[in-house]
């Protein structure tokens, strides 16, 4: 690999809506987490090339309680900023998003250190989503967010609104003003304000977060406008160029380096096949330059996202490689693990009940938006595999445990152990495609005599194959290779925004809380040619 270049995306797998900030020589990116807990992933770099997942900002229910939130609800588009020794994080908790209405509650948390502790939230407003905080050089602070209009016959994306934030009162003050209606591209969202050479620059995301997504720019000498639109908008987009390896380019955020270079991080998608991005929306980075007449451009010309860019003038700062294997020897889940809507707690998950094992007690079904017993990690490569070993002794068909590929409550593929009246303890594949439950009864096998069972999934682009090994025996394939394109943003009946996860889960639909013990979890990636 060429050390003088940065390869995109820099944050692979489900890591959308990046917000970047510099504090001294350190750079941090916050990304959306939607219904997954903990909320807001925060990555760290010192060279804008090498990144590590450092922490999460929203780690307790007093900051974020998403029980009952819809699929692709929860945390949308965080904004991370830094001013006078304090980190500020703005985020939306989306409680509903069907039909004409969106219930979008916007909050602020702060921390003296990026690793926390982060404060309890300050409520800001609910007028729209994608809130962003701007620290002006006169000490005043301003919130911008897109305005949602539910009325028939009106533009739902009703412009960008501005309101002052009072640090002492911990509330928005003054009049809310609509400062920008957007361009002809429409779907104006993702606002960020910057100030340079006497101008306020308003960067927005437009055209919707799919294949016509774009970054646009406008400027004004007054923060309240009027804003002059960049004559060469959009300044970054993949629209109309399906040959580009990075699609969906949009939702950008700027940072200036200590060496006076400018970078934009932005959202992208990499189709696994045709229009389907199983990995979800990811984060890329571009070199940016300012023109003599004060507009921002992609370095080198054009407005397309580059798969490879020159490194910035910063010392190389790689991080140690992460381990493929989790033996569950810690008393808390590793940083790569997420749970659905609520944090893991001792009522359904333990790493100490049986040291060296992850114990999950079964709760509600995979359709539940309330109390699932599921821990999962992002799929971050098109070609990868994952395996686990578990002990589970179901007593009836309502008890299940195993290895899952999970997009949301409507789309998943599940290699699970259960109990059948004829087969006894059994292993088979079930799946849900756009909410339709499917089974593969001809491939289901009896494992009545086994105590411990290894399960493995091998993902090759748009296909996944499952395998098992009984009591340390040889690996054996089970079921057909399955198309997994339904585990993508594009496959649903309506807009959705996460990527595929690989996880461990247990259900007990009887309410008896049957548990399973997982011995380890291994996740590894490879190139297509391997």
User: What is the per-residue pLDDT for 427?
Assistant: 98
- Measure the CA–CA gap between 246 and 306, rounded to whole angstroms: 7
User: What is the per-residue pLDDT for 80?
Assistant: 98
Q: Is 48 left (phi over 0), alpha (psi -120 to 50) or beta?
A: left
- Measure the CA–CA gap between 439 and 57, rounded to whole angstroms: 39
**C-alpha closest to that of 181 among 132, 221, 146:** 146
Digit-coded pLDDT (tens) for 405-461 = 999 999 999 999 999 999 999 999 999 999 999 999 999 999 999 999 999 999 999
What's the first-to-final CA gap in the chain, in angstroms?
17
Catalytic entry in 17, 212, 230, 385? 17
The yes-or-no answer on residue 181 being catalytic is no
Rg (the chain; Cα; Å): 24
**Burial call 120-140: b when 16+ CB within 10 Å, e when fewer:** ebbebbbbbbbbbbbbeeeee
Stated pTM of the model: 0.97
User: What is the per-residue pLDDT for 1?
Assistant: 46
**C-alpha closest to that of 339 among 293, 295, 371, 313:** 371
The yes-or-no answer on residue 189 being catalytic is yes
Q: Residue 412 contacts by C-beta under 8 Å, 6 or more apart in sequence?
A: 366, 404, 405, 406, 431, 432, 487
Q: Which residues of the chain are modeled with pLDDT < 50?
A: 1
Catalytic entry in 47, 189, 282, 387? 189
User: What is the per-residue pLDDT for 2?
Assistant: 57
Which domains are present in the chain? 5-310 (2.115.10.20), 325-525 (2.60.120.200)
Cβ pair 410, 432 in contact under 8 A: yes
- Measure the CA–CA gap between 92 and 129, rounded to whole angstroms: 6
User: What is the per-residue pLDDT for 3?
Assistant: 65
């Amino acid at each position: 690999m060429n050390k003088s270049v940065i390869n995109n995306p820099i944050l692979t797998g489900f890591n959308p809506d990046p917000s970047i900030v510099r504090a001294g020589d350190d750079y941090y990116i916050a990304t959306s987490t939607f219904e997954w807990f903990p909320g807001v992933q925060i990555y760290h770099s010192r060279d804008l090339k090498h990144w590590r997942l450092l922490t999460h900002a929203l780690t307790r229910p007093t900051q974020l309680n998403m029980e009952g939130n819809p699929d692709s609800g929860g945390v949308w588009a965080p904004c991370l900023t830094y001013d006078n020794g304090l980190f500020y994080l703005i985020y939306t908790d989306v409680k509903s998003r069907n039909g004409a209405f969106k219930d979008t509650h916007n909050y602020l948390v702060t921390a003296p250190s990026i690793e926390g502790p982060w404060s309890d939230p300050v409520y800001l407003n609910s007028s729209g989503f994608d809130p962003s905080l701007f620290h002006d050089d006169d000490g005043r602070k301003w919130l911008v967010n897109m305005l949602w209009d539910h009325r028939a016959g009106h533009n739902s994306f009703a412009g960008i609104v501005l309101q002052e934030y009072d640090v002492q009162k911990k509330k928005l003050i003054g009049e809310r003003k609509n400062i920008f209606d957007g361009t002809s591209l429409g779907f104006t969202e993702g606002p960020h304000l910057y100030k340079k050479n006497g101008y306020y620059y308003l960067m927005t995301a437009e055209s919707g977060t799919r294949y016509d997504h774009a970054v646009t720019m406008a400027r004004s000498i007054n923060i309240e406008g009027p804003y002059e639109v960049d004559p060469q908008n959009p300044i970054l987009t993949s629209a109309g160029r399906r040959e580009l390896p990075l699609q969906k380019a949009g939702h950008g955020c700027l940072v200036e380096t200590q060496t006076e270079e400018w970078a934009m991080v932005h959202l992208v998608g990499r189709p696994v096949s045709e229009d389907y991005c199983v990995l979800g929306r990811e984060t890329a980075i571009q070199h940016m330059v300012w023109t003599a007449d004060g507009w921002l451009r992609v370095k080198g010309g054009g407005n397309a996202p580059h798969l490879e860019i020159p490194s910035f003038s910063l010392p190389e700062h790689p991080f140690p490689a992460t381990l493929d294997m989790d033996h569950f020897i810690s008393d808390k889940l590793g940083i790569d693990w997420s749970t659905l809507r609520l944090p893991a707690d001792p009522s359904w998950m333990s790493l100490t009940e049986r040291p060296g094992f992850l114990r999950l007690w079964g709760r509600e079904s995979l359709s539940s938006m309330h109390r699932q017993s599921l821990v999962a990690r992002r799929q971050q490569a098109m070609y990868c595999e994952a395996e686990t070993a578990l002990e589970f002794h179901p007593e009836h068909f309502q008890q299940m445990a195993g290895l899952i590929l999970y997009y949301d409550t409507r789309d998943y593929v599940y290699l699970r152990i259960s109990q059948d009246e004829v087969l006894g303890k059994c292993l088979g594949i079930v799946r849900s495609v756009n909410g339709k439950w499917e089974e593969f009864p001809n491939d289901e096998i009896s494992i009545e005599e086994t105590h411990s069972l290894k399960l493995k999934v091998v993902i090759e682009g748009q296909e996944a194959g499952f395998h098992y090994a009984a009591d340390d025996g040889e690996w054996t394939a089970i079921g057909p290779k399955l198309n997994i394109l339904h585990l993508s943003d594009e496959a649903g009946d309506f807009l959705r925004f996460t990527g595929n996860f690989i996880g461990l889960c247990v259900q007990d639909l009887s309410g008896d809380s049957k548990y399973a013990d997982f011995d380890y979890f291994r996740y590894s990636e490879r190139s297509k040619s391997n």
